Structure 1
Amino acid sequence: MKILVPVKRVIDYNVKVRVRPDGSGVELANVKMSMNPFDEIAMEEAVRLKGKGIASEIIAVSIGTPQARDILRTALAMGADRAILVDATADVNFDIEPLAVARILARLVEREKPDLVIAGKHAIDNDMNATGQMLAGLLGWGQATFASRIEIAQGHAVVTREVDGGLQVIRVALPAVITADLRLNEPRYVSLPNIMKAKKKPLEECPLAALDVDISPRLKVVRTIEPSNRSAGRRVASVDELIDKLKNEAGVL
């Protein structure tokens, strides 16, 4: 079984994001970047499936700027066999929209012919939560989103999904697209020997023109603002006063 894992370069989750003074987006200059945490979980799951003898090859894919090589090297150090960088833009502030990403991935799937695509459920920079679903739609494959457990057997994936009402277990035929939720696993620590080994693994750079995909944006960011500061709490003398304020002032009842 061949598994394809898309990974995205985003601002590290430990960094406090700052909005640019003109409100055109967030500040990316001199900011620590890393692999999207949910993509890291997806990669860990693919490596575990290979460790069980279920997967034979893992391909990591990133779409964006040449700087994405660093997260692909991280993916290779985690256990991916090879990596593909789709050089789609030179502008780090240009965010490729989910539909364009899905179309690029669909072209790579046609070329690589994986049996399974495991992706993060969303990227922490734009919170779109759309790429996996769009990719499944373009390919005509089954999909299982928000996976907290994956079992592969007899040409099917049995996936436990986290839904509003609790857990849902579904069975999807392969090939399929699965998106990873937070509780699927705990990604491994990348050791120095594996980092050194990753430097010898193949990393292919593919120009966007070779895939013939239009990535022109369909959305326009009008303005980016920081969330308002949390206001101080207020003491109430009784439950009746609390209910009154929740109903008449906060409007939550």
Structure 2
Amino acid sequence: MPAVSGYKTNEHKDVAEKLMPCMVVLVKYVPDSWSKRILTEDFTLDRENVDAVMDEINEFAVEQALRIKEAHPEEGWEVVALTVGPAGSDQAVRKAIAMGADRGVVVTDDAIAGSDVLATAWALNNAINTIDDVRLVLTGDASTDGKMGALPAVLSEYRQWPAVTSVKSLQLTDDTVQAERITHDGVWELQASLPAIVSVSEQADKARFPNFKGLMAAKKADVPTLSAADCGIDPATVGLAHAATAVTAATARAERSRGTVVHDSGDGAAQIVAFLKTEGFID
């Protein structure tokens, strides 16, 4: 893996120019949650015949990145939205730019199509390496089309960076990220040294709405599209054919049927008790 450097050399000067520290926010173009999701013949999700949007969980991550940038104006943080996906995925990046991200990068290549979480994380890892001075990577904690929640941890392993996952909020102090995670067991205060990877949960503050200026900036933005080769990705390490697992059969979920309606004519409680006994919920 190429080293991440904080300086670049200008070949026309004898001095090193300090780069802007960069936050990369991983965004994903997914089928709208209101769309009917179906599988193709190779058991991958049909992404062509549905309405697609930037995954809502990514909006929380973009919001946290923008808050960090606004809290440290003197450091000149740059927020870069990055996605790996099919044609049209630039719309997810443009949504992030409309919210306030500085720029975006899209990686799309037929060789990557059908990648499992291991290969997707590998593709993202290589794509991150094309961006200068990345010190923080932010993600959602689980995509709505996959629901695995494993990508931040896998990416952490590839990059050998600490991962702070499923957090409600975060802030930077010097070269340390501090975050709060809330679970049923209580509130956890977490921290890690930069560079680091942070996944943001739906408990985080709601994302801002893009304003007119942001929408226009997103529309006009030059969003570069990279191939697998541009990122140094070996096709033999990604794609459906090289996935660690394979789906061989799938059954559509049955249509939801109407439940039992109890009309209470004085014996409603008895009807409910009888139903619970029949279903084995009570003795």
Q: Same fold (TM over 0.5)?
A: yes
Q: 1:141 maps to what in 2?
A: 161
SS at match of 1:144: strand
Task: Work out the CA distance in 2 between the residues paired with 1:107 and 1:252.
Answer: 55
The DSSP-based 3-state class of the residue aligned with 1:115 is strand
Between 16-25 and 164-173, the greater mean CA deviation after superposition: 16-25
1:16-165 correspondence to structure 2 within 5 Å: 16-19=35-38, 24=43, 27-53=46-72, 56-89=77-110, 94-112=113-131, 113-165=133-185
Asked whether the equivalents of residues 106 and 135 of structure 1 are also in contact (C-alpha less than 8 Å), the reply is: yes
Letter in 1 for 2:121: A
Residue 217 of structure 1 is matched in structure 2 by 243
Task: Check 1:207–1:163 CA distance in 2 against 1; reply closer, same or farther (3 A cut).
Answer: same
Task: Give the letter aligned to residue 245 of structure 2.
Answer: L
1:75 aligned partner, one-letter code: A
CA shift, 1:249, in A, is 2.6
For residues 197 and 103 of structure 1, do their structure 2 counterparts lie closer, same or farther at Cα, with a shift above 3 Å needed?
Answer: same
- Does the 8 Å CA contact 2:79/2:102 hold for their aligned counterparts? yes
The match for 1:237 is 269
Q: Tell me the TM-score normalised to structure 2 length.
A: 0.77
TM-score, length-scaled by structure 1: 0.85
Identity of aligned residues (%): 23
Which SS does the other structure have where 1:229 is aligned?
Answer: coil
Quickly say closer, same or farther: Cα 1:196–1:88, change in 2 above 3 A. Answer: same
* CA spacing shift, 1:35–1:107, aligned 2, 3 Å: same
The whole-number CA distance in structure 2 between the counterparts of 1:232 and 1:63 is: 42
What's the counterpart of residue 203 of structure 1? 223
Q: Deviations over 1:96-141 (max 9, x none)?
A: 3211121122223333231110001111011111111100111111
The equivalent residue for 1:3 is 23
Q: Which moved more, 1:47-56 or 1:156-165?
A: 47-56
Secondary structure, counterpart of 1:73 in structure 2: helix
Aligned residue for 1:178, secondary structure, equals: strand
Q: Distance in 2 between matches of 1:130 and 1:238?
A: 47
Aligned to 1:166: 186
Matching residue's letter, 1:44: E
Whether the aligned pair in 2 keeps the contact of 1:19 and 1:226 (CA below 8 Å) is no
Alpha-carbon distance in structure 2 between the residues aligned to 1:168 and 1:83? 32
Cα distance in structure 2, aligned partners of 1:140 and 1:247: 54
Q: CA, structure 1 residues 70+164, in 2 after alignment: closer, same or farther (shift >3 Å)?
A: same
Q: Contact 1:5–1:119 at 8 Å: present in 2 too? A: yes
Instruction: Give 5+ residue unaligned stretches, structure 2.
Output: 1-20, 263-267
Counterpart of 2:279?
A: 249
1:1-44 CA-partner distances (Å, limit 9, x unpaired)? 3101111100123x142436979465544422100111111111
Partner of 1:180: 200
Counterpart in 1 of 2:14? none
Take 2:111 and 2:146, find their aligned partners in 1: how far apart are those partners?
19
**SS at 2:246's partner residue?**
coil
The answer as to whether partners of 1:25 and 1:223 remain within 8 angstroms in 2 is no
- Which of the two has higher C-alpha Rg? 2
- Where does the alignment leave 5 or more consecutive residues of structure 1 unmatched? none
What SS does the aligned partner of 2:180 have?
strand
SS at match of 1:188: coil
- Asked if the contact 2:44/2:114 (under 8 Å) is kept, the reply is no
Distance 1:158 1:247 in 2: 51
For the aligned residues, what is the CA RMSD? Answer: 2.8
- Following the alignment from structure 1 to structure 2, what is the Cα–Cα distance between the partners of residues 22 and 251? 40
- Structure 1 stretch displaced more, 32-41 or 219-228: 219-228
Indicate the larger mover: 212-221 or 18-27: 18-27
